[in-house]
Amino acid sequence: MFMNSDYNVQVQAESFYIEDQSIPERDQYVFAYRITIRNTGEVAAKLMTRHWVITDANGKVQEVRGEGVVGEQPHLKPGDEFQYTSGAIIETPVGTMEGSYQMVADDGGHFDAEISPFMLAAPRVLH
């Protein structure tokens, strides 16, 4: 993969437990997450695809791949940011998500914007 120091897309994540949609007695824990994608590089780039790895506390892994995010393929000029909210359902009250966005820069370069692991946790589960 071609890398260029002009490419830099930062991803921030924040998760929220959705209690009224969760059914703990059926091992169904629903989370929403808000993602902010910010182009801090020198070259505009378009988000083409996503790859998520969602792991619950039992070690069960769900991998999600697809085009864009929430039906969009945002094009981010330097300094631009794009924010969206989506969701995940896991079988335990605690889990993690991580992954990457596959980007194509306006100069033809391809790169991944890494999504650092973040916690999914129902309230009062972790001390």
| Per-residue pLDDT, 1 | 43
- 110 domain-assigned: yes
- 38 domain-assigned: yes
Number of domains within the chain? 1
Give me Rg for the CA atoms of the chain: 16
> How many angstroms separate the CA atoms of 27 and 94, rounded?
11
Full domain range(s) for residue 64:
9-121
Mean pLDDT by 10 residues, the chain (127 residues): 74 98 97 98 97 98 97 97 98 98 97 97 77
- Provide the CATH number for the domain around residue 112: 2.60.40.1470
Residue type, 78: P
